[in-house]
Amino acid sequence: MLELIEAVKPSELFINFDPSHLAVHDDDISSAIRTLGQRIVHVHVKDARGTPSDYQFPPLGQGVIDFKGFMAAMKEVDYSGVLSIEYEANAFGYEQTEDEIVDGSLQFVKQLLAA
């Protein structure tokens, strides 16, 4: 990403940060946040597990992402923008009603923000 930023007009390229894709590649999410810092203008809150060839995006809290570390890194870079919940767990066999998805995701994020 840093190479791409340098290759184009650096002042015009920003990041929609999605930790789930880094997780399935076993990348260090907190380090990526610190490196990209002020370039991050939008953040997906989405969990993940698996490998690039065999992955899932489970409901929040059921994957491998260290959300406490994720939020600590976001605070370190002074991120104050939008957190959007991206939910794709239904595509991986997790069956929840829309109300359960919204309520569970909202509770999860509220707990993260309170911690």
Please report the pLDDT score of residue 69 as a whole number: 95
Contact predicate 58/74, CB 8 Å: no
Please report the pLDDT score of residue 13 as a whole number: 80
The gap from C-alpha 76 to its chain's centroid, in whole angstroms, comes to 16
- Write the burial class of residue 50 (CB in 10 Å: 0-12 exposed, 13-18 middle, 19+ buried): middle
Please report the pLDDT score of residue 107 as a whole number: 95
Please report the pLDDT score of residue 10 as a whole number: 65
Return averaged pLDDT per consecutive 10 residues of the chain, 115 residues in all: 75 87 96 92 96 96 95 95 92 91 93 89
What superfamily would CATH give domain 13-114?
A: Divalent-metal-dependent TIM barrel enzymes (3.20.20.150)
